[in-house]
Amino acid sequence: MTVVAVLLFGLIGTVAGPGWHPQPLQQTLVVQTPDVAIGGDVATDPVGTYETRTESFTVELDGATVRATVHEPVGAPGPRPGLVFMHGAGTATHDNFWQITEALASAGVVSLVPDKRMDTYSARFRDYPAMAEDYMHSWRALAARPGVDPDRVGFYAESEGAFVAPVAAAEHPEVAHVVLVSAPVVPAREQFALATDTYLRNLGAPEQLLRAVPRLLGSEIPGGGFVYADFDVSPYQQRMDQPVLMVYGTEDVSMPVVQAPAKVIADLTEAGNGGYTVRYFEGANHGIRIDDALAPGFPDALARWVQGLPETADAQPRIAGGQPEQRFRADPVDSPRWYASGDMIVLTLVGPVALLALGPVLWLLTRFVRRPSEPLPAPLARATAALAMGVLAVWTLFISYLLVVADLALNYETNDVAVQGGWLGVQAVAIGTTAVGVWSATTWLRVRRSGMRTGTVGTITLVGVHLGALVLLLAAGYWGVFPTVW
């Protein structure tokens, strides 16, 4: 009976939600040379040419103000090109990007780093077109600065900022150029799914855990919001006429490092824009760093590309650096059914836990009013208590396991004992709890057939625990905890 129940939980879990079958990426971008230097027959100042200075001031937005820091060269002749930095999800203040902006300033490029506007930005709600308009205020502040050429001011957009820069560039043709660093390009939901899958595969995670990718990332989030996860930047890229530099690290497993720049190139071609350059930095991560240092050649390539425009917009080599690898495509993620999406995710966990607690709470209340309820027969009480504790143990271990796996993935570490051994442990407890559930249910059935009384509170406890445990075990099956037959 236990084996049948375990197989049923696994089978129901398999068919209850979307499967996960990422498709291999068929295309590739072949680098022309490992040398990341920017070509072209134009003279530019190298990094380290000038002393630098910084200045912080306030930029007025529509309905808010932000602080900004400008990094500029000292004594550089003529009006200079400029870059306004757009933050990714992991940065937010005018003190960020210090290393790269100082390097750019020493080559004669003026950079401005504004604070990210936070009163309209949260984990749940983000408006990329509105963010583009906010950043345009900083762009105008830099373009109006003495010593800056207003016709040569563009954007440097990192990670999430690469959803914003094409909007600003498409809507404001006065933007001179765009640098996209570690750009997802595909909608964030698709990028999240690809990154999660890659992290889990690199860890050697079990196949059942991979099945959770679309069930988690394809669902609506409890409480709503996160509409930005499906934002498509491609229509804006198809309207860009500015030259674009795309930069990636070959060790950035979170981004579609082949698919994304290929999509940008296709979108620019749609706009009749052939001004693209792609650079892959060997061994660099998402921040174009190796350990804590900027990847060798990155500041130099960026400074030369910006200064050398328009000559460097299509200078050979167009694609250079380390050879990128992307195993699977980032594609649209299937959505779970109604019972496993949005607020139902919470209800299917909180509701059963409340059922588990209902009987004990009622028992305590009856003790409080000095009307103790009739106790359950000892064997049935033990079996029911064991079932409740077992199913809570399953979920406690499963959540703890997920936290350990997430920590390993985010720190780019591996631990076969934790990943494989931990998973076997979770499954063993789930199977053991199923056996306890079968024992408890059969014990309850024997008690009923014998005519023994369980009392009102006892009956409520039995129904609550068994129903709650059933739902929690079904939910565990949905998230891949139980073995599957295919």
Is the separation of the CB atoms in 124 and 229 below 8 Å? no
Main-chain phi, psi angles of 342, to 5 degrees:
65, -140
Q: For residue 338, with 0-12 CB atoms within 10 Å meaning exposed, 13-18 middle and 19 or more buried, which class applies?
A: exposed
First to last CA, the chain: 20
Amino acid 374: pLDDT: 67
Tens place of pLDDT for every residue, the chain, 486 residues?
Answer: 888 999 889 899 889 989 999 999 998 999 999 999 999 999 999 999 999 999 999 999 999 999 999 999 999 998 999 999 999 999 999 999 999 999 999 999 999 999 999 999 999 999 999 999 999 999 999 999 999 999 999 999 999 999 999 999 999 999 999 999 999 999 999 999 999 999 999 999 998 899 999 999 999 988 888 999 999 999 999 999 999 999 999 999 999 999 999 999 999 999 999 999 999 999 999 999 999 999 999 999 999 999 999 999 999 999 999 999 999 999 999 999 888 888 898 999 999 999 999 888 887 777 776 666 667 778 888 999 999 999 999 999 999 999 999 999 888 888 999 999 999 999 999 999 999 999 999 988 887 787 777 777 888 888 999 999 999 999 999 999 998 865
Is the separation of the CB atoms in 409 and 199 below 8 Å? yes
Rg, C-alpha atoms of the chain: 29
Amino acid 222: pLDDT: 87
Q: Could you tell me the two tokens for 38? A: 């920017």
In the DSSP assignment, the letter for residue 420 is I
- One-letter identity of residue 440: S
Concatenating the DSSP letter of every residue in 110-165 gives EEEEEPPP-TT--SS---HHHHHHHHHHHHHHHHTSTTEEEEEEEEEEEGGGGGTH
Separation between Cα atoms, residue 279 and residue 248, nearest integer Å:
6
Amino acid 369: pLDDT: 66
Q: For residue 83, with 0-12 CB atoms within 10 Å meaning exposed, 13-18 middle and 19 or more buried, which class applies?
A: buried
Show the CA angle centred on residue 106, arms to residues 103 and 112, nearest 5°. 70
Is the separation of the CB atoms in 254 and 195 below 8 Å? yes
Beta bridge partners of 72: 53
Domains of the chain: 2-17+340-478 (no CATH), 51-321 (3.40.50.1820)
Sign of CA dihedral 366, 372, 374, 378: positive
Q: For residue 424, with 0-12 CB atoms within 10 Å meaning exposed, 13-18 middle and 19 or more buried, which class applies?
A: exposed
- One-letter identity of residue 41: D
Say how many C-beta atoms besides its own lie within 10 A of residue 414's C-beta. Answer: 12
Q: For residue 88, with 0-12 CB atoms within 10 Å meaning exposed, 13-18 middle and 19 or more buried, which class applies?
A: buried
